[in-house]
Amino acid sequence: MSLGVRLEGVSVGFGRGGRGAPVVAGVDAEFAEGSFTALLGPSGCGKSTLLNAVAGFVRPTAGGVTVGGAPVTGPGPDRGVVFQQYALFPWLSARGNVEFALKRLGLPRSERRRRALDALAEVGLAEGAEKRPGELSGGMQQRVALARALAAEPEVLLMDEPFGALDPLTRGRMQELLTGLWRRAGTTVLFVTHDLDEALALAQRVLVLGGSPGRVLADHPVPAGGPDPGLRARVAAHLGA
Ligand SMILES: Nc1ncnc2c1ncn2[C@@H]1O[C@H](COP(=O)(O)OP(=O)(O)OP(=O)(O)O)[C@@H](O)[C@H]1O
Ligand SMILES: [Mg+2]
């Protein structure tokens, strides 16, 4: 199952009750059900702010976000979030971290456990289920964070530079894992990155954000067979603008 996401005239300001200078202004974007889009842009252009508005952690000062046609008023189990910093509880095992995220769904304990173990198996971490984050590598911790987001079976997966802290080899493996998961589950994915090559390798579409306040500078579809040689240069040109 997946749901489409729509941003309509989204502006966000911080400070003075949201009346501070806007960080992003008038952002319109639509993400089709089951699509995989990269949100690409330089540091500080408002990528996390927009993703957090979709997640329901940040309230737009103008405009609004809908998921499956329903207005976003706060976080919900239809949207799973993976943060750049894995944000795991160090005192809980991998399984405990995933189960914790399922608590708000009101599932019985046995069902939470089953779902947590399934999600960990799905990201290739069945063996590490009882280990604590401190006993796991960075890539493994990021797998736990991904399992935690997937276990609630969200319709929309929101990822904020999830692989930024990983070494290139692990990063490549995580990218493959994510692509495989997305192909199987058909979840709508919004993937924030400032890495052009990562955006082109993963996504069906690259939305370039930039400016101050941040806005959509360009919207590039990525051909199914991979980017053509000119695409990288065209996206890079917008990124540099
Ligand atoms: N809670 C907040 N309070 C005040 N200002 C904020 C807050 N969150 C973000 N900002 C400001 O909004 C701007 C955009 O921040 P945001 O984190 O969305 O950028 P980003 O594109 O995700 O950058 P990066 O690539 O570095 O993660 C920045 O100038 C930042 O300082
Ligand atoms: Mg950010």
Strands 156-160 and 5-13: unpaired
**Same structural domain for residues 8 and 43?**
yes
Say if ligand 1 is within 6 A of residue 193 CB. Answer: no
pLDDT of residue 229: 83
Distance between CA 162 and CA 237 in Å, rounded?
A: 24
**Same structural domain for residues 61 and 97?**
no
Which three-class secondary structure state does DSSP give residue 104? helix
Ligand 1 atom closest to Cα of residue 209: 21
CA 220 and chain centroid, separation: 19
**Same structural domain for residues 85 and 55?**
no
**Same structural domain for residues 127 and 113?**
yes
Say if ligand 1 is within 6 A of residue 51 CB. Answer: no
pLDDT of residue 134: 95
Ligand 1 atom closest to Cα of residue 24: 14
178 assigned to some structural domain: no
The residue among 109, 133, 153 that closes a domain is 153
56 assigned to some structural domain: yes
**Same structural domain for residues 28 and 95?**
no
- Structural domains counted in the chain: 2
**Same structural domain for residues 55 and 105?**
no
Count of other CB atoms within 10 angstroms of residue 21: 11
88 assigned to some structural domain: yes
Tell me the CA–centroid distance for residue 49 and ligand 2, in Å.
7
Say if ligand 1 is within 6 A of residue 35 CB. Answer: no
Of all ligands present, the nearest one to the C-alpha of 52 is 1
pLDDT of residue 78: 94
**Same structural domain for residues 148 and 191?**
no
**Same structural domain for residues 85 and 68?**
no
Answer yes or no: are the C-beta atoms of 147 and 125 closer than 8 Å.
yes
pLDDT of residue 224: 87
pLDDT of residue 120: 95
Give me the CATH number covering residue 54.
3.40.50.300
Tell me the CA–centroid distance for residue 39 and ligand 1, in Å.
14
Name the residue at shortest CA distance from atom 4 of ligand 1.
14
175 assigned to some structural domain: no
Say if ligand 1 is within 6 A of residue 133 CB. Answer: no
Distance between CA 220 and CA 197 in Å, rounded?
A: 14
Say if ligand 1 is within 6 A of residue 210 CB. Answer: no
For the chain, 241 residues long, give each residue's pLDDT as a single digit of tens.
789 999 999 999 998 776 788 999 999 999 999 999 999 999 999 999 999 999 999 999 999 999 999 999 999 999 999 988 878 999 999 999 999 999 888 899 999 999 999 999 988 899 999 999 999 998 899 999 999 999 988 999 999 999 988 888 888 988 998 999 999 889 999 999 999 999 999 999 999 999 999 999 999 999 988 888 899 999 999 988 6
**Same structural domain for residues 70 and 86?**
no
Write down how long the chain is.
Answer: 241
129 assigned to some structural domain: yes
Say if ligand 1 is within 6 A of residue 27 CB. Answer: no
pLDDT of residue 241: 61
**Same structural domain for residues 49 and 93?**
no
Name the residue at shortest CA distance from atom 26 of ligand 1.
43
pLDDT of residue 87: 87
> Could you list the residue range(s) of the whole structural domain that residue 148 is in?
81-153
Distance between CA 74 and CA 232 in Å, rounded?
A: 36
User: pLDDT tens across 49-71, in order?
Assistant: 999 999 999 999 999 999 999 99
Say if ligand 1 is within 6 A of residue 46 CB. Answer: yes
**Same structural domain for residues 66 and 107?**
no
171 assigned to some structural domain: no
Distance between CA 222 and CA 202 in Å, rounded?
A: 9
Single-letter code of the amino acid located at 170: T
CA distances from 111 to 76, 88, 90, 117, 184 (A): 19, 21, 23, 10, 22
Answer yes or no: are the C-beta atoms of 102 and 152 closer than 8 Å.
yes
The residue among 99, 132, 153 that closes a domain is 153
Which helix (H) or strand (E) element contains residue 200? helix 196-202
Q: Is the dihedral of CA 128, 81, 168, 176 positive or negative?
A: positive
What the block records as the tokens of 222 is: 């990525």
**Same structural domain for residues 130 and 64?**
no
